[in-house]
Amino acid sequence: EPEVTQTPSHQVTQMGQEVILRCVPISNHLYFYWYRQILGQKVEFLVSFYNNEISEKSEIFDDQFSVERPDGSNFTLKIRSTKLEDSAMYFCASSDSSGGTDTQYFGPGTRLTVL
């Protein structure tokens, strides 16, 4: 069964450093998303991406964040200068969303620890 994959599973970085989180969405999906979950809190939407551009973003997704689909398979989230409060699980998701349906499939997550 196709699945969303994410690398690395765990990333430790120093405050102020740049990190890039990588995702490979399900191959025939058109919509891509990043969510985060701070330990013990809700899953929160960050950004959605369709047709090579951002379609929606939340207040969390400020200028420190960017997304890119550098090739036909990868989808990345970059945090330019990490803060302590960026420590969280980051989940990539993808969906087909054609025909009016919207089943978003999530990857296993990258645990980001900012020291």
**Minimum Å distance from CB 75 to another protein?**
15
**Cβ proximity to another protein, 90 vs 114, nearer residue:** 90
**Cβ proximity to another protein, 3 vs 18, nearer residue:** 3
Residues that bind another protein (CB under 8 A): 4, 31, 33, 35, 41-45, 48, 50, 55-56, 58, 89, 91, 95, 97-98, 100-109, 111
**Minimum Å distance from CB 90 to another protein?**
10
**Cβ proximity to another protein, 16 vs 42, nearer residue:** 42
**Minimum Å distance from CB 106 to another protein?**
4
**Minimum Å distance from CB 5 to another protein?**
10
3-state secondary structure of 16: coil
CA distance 111 to 81: 17
Q: How far is CA 61 from the centre of its chain?
A: 11
Closest by Cα among 105, 99, 75, 109 to 1: 105
Cα-flanking dihedrals φ and ψ of residue 84, to 5°?
-55, -40
**Cβ proximity to another protein, 55 vs 81, nearer residue:** 55
The residue behind tokens 């929160």 is 44
Regarding beta strands 53-57 and 31-37, do their DSSP bridges make them parallel or antiparallel, or are they unpaired?
A: unpaired
